[in-house]
Amino acid sequence: MKNQFKDNPQLLPLLCKIDKLIELSERKGKRFNFMEICGTHTVSILKHGFRSYFKDKIKFISGPGCPVCVTSQKDMDRVIALAKSGVKIATFGDLIKVPGSHSSLEEQQALGKQIDVVYSPLDCLKIAENADEEVVFIAVGFETTIPVIASLVLDAERMNIKNLSILAIIKTIPNALKFLLANLETEIDGFICPGHVSVIIGEQPYNIIPEKYGIPCAIAGFDPVDIALGIESLITQIKDKNPIVANRYKRMVKLDGNPAARNLINEVFEEDDVDWRGFGKVPASGLKLRKRFAKFDADKKFDIKVETTSEPKGCICGEIIAGKKLPAECQLFAKKCTPDSPVGPCMVSFEGSCAAFYKYGE
């Protein structure tokens, strides 16, 4: 994997600089614990060999940043119950294989239920216009995705589409991070903050992390140089004992994010306490539709009943999401659980920790 580094003329000097900074930071052999919040960073850090390169110096801990993985078992069961009830489901492809307690969308599709995979939530407008039956979009996502979900609802209202609704399983990052920080079991020395979530929310929501907890933050992009820049910033902050929110993805992330996108979100949604796999209920860490949009709320439109909910036996996704364990610590990893026959959501999603370790693991 290090060969990839050799091919990259920008990366080598950066890595040398990081190695020097680590020496100067007087850690005396103690590893840094860095959490990357975003699933796309988890994949990139593994794929480009950062984990192995910094093996003795940095421990990378994956955070709760894979929307599919953090969807609770109960919410997944609600999605499957809706599919069973005969409405037409429109969903991102990532959710198809996620196992619920008793079935999956894939299985329901094989049984003849109508499940359409969409590239954009806005595709649901045409699907609903061409359908006689009710269409429900399974609205999963973080801040990157919420503006387009809000646009779907606004357009459906404007076009007076009556047979379309969304099942909101929407989560937001800042309050989830606050919860994570208040309940930390391992010491975190720095956060690599998500790139595309930050395009929407900007730098400000992370300020509480250095200010209240004294932990450095670096917003980073996704290519190897971006990630190295993020790591370099975190270690510099530690060495100088000056924790801040450093923006290493300035070309995309503005100080104030994208206010127009946030206005859309605020017009359509309001804060809600929601369930996270691995965390349980987290105050104000998700969104629900405002009253004005009640007619587009699948929760209000349909009586969604779930049978008993049970986590997949032996699966430790919850602990992996909370940064407490690594995929290899799961007894099913790469044995009973593989991307072809996943037991838990962390093996389904391309950016789930288990799938990333399976594909690029050490």
Binder of ligand SF4 out of 95, 298, 354, 356 (CB under 6 A): 354
Structural tokens at position 224: 């190897």
The footprint of another protein on residues 3-22 (CB under 8 A) is none
Q: Is 353 exposed, middle or buried (0-12, 13-18, 19+ CB in 10 A)?
A: buried
Instruction: Decide whether 243 or 312 has the Cβ nearer to ligand SF4.
Output: 312
Binding string, 322-341, against ligand SF4, x = CB under 6 A? -----x--x-xx---x----
* Helix ranges (DSSP H) in 97-143: 105-110, 123-129
Binder of ligand SF4 out of 320, 321, 322, 356 (CB under 6 A): 320
Which partner, ligand SF4, another protein, none, binds residue 332 by CB below 5 to 8 Å per kind? Answer: ligand SF4
CB 89 within 8 A of CB 83: yes
173 binds ligand SF4 (CB under 6 A): no
Contact segment (CB under 6 A) with ligand SF4 among 74-82, 248-256, 300-308, 312-320 equals 312-320
Strand runs labelled E in the chain: 32-38, 58-65, 88-91, 115-117, 135-141, 164-171, 190-193, 217-219, 245-247, 269-276, 280-289
Instruction: Decide whether 141 or 243 has the Cβ nearer to another protein.
Output: 141
**C-alpha to C-alpha distance for 66 and 345, rounded to whole angstroms:** 10
CB 39 within 8 A of CB 320: no
Binder of ligand SF4 out of 316, 321, 322, 326 (CB under 6 A): 316
140 binds ligand SF4 (CB under 6 A): no
218 binds ligand SF4 (CB under 6 A): no
Binder of another protein out of 1, 148, 181, 334 (CB under 8 A): 148
- For residue 337, CA distances in Å to 101, 102, 258, 333 come to 16, 17, 39, 5
The footprint of another protein on residues 195-254 (CB under 8 A) is 195-197, 199-200, 223, 251-252, 254
- For residue 224, CA distances in Å to 6, 356, 361 come to 12, 16, 17
266 binds another protein (CB under 8 A): no
Using CB under 6 A, list all residues that contact ligand SF4.
314-317, 320, 327, 330, 332-333, 337, 342-344, 346-347, 354
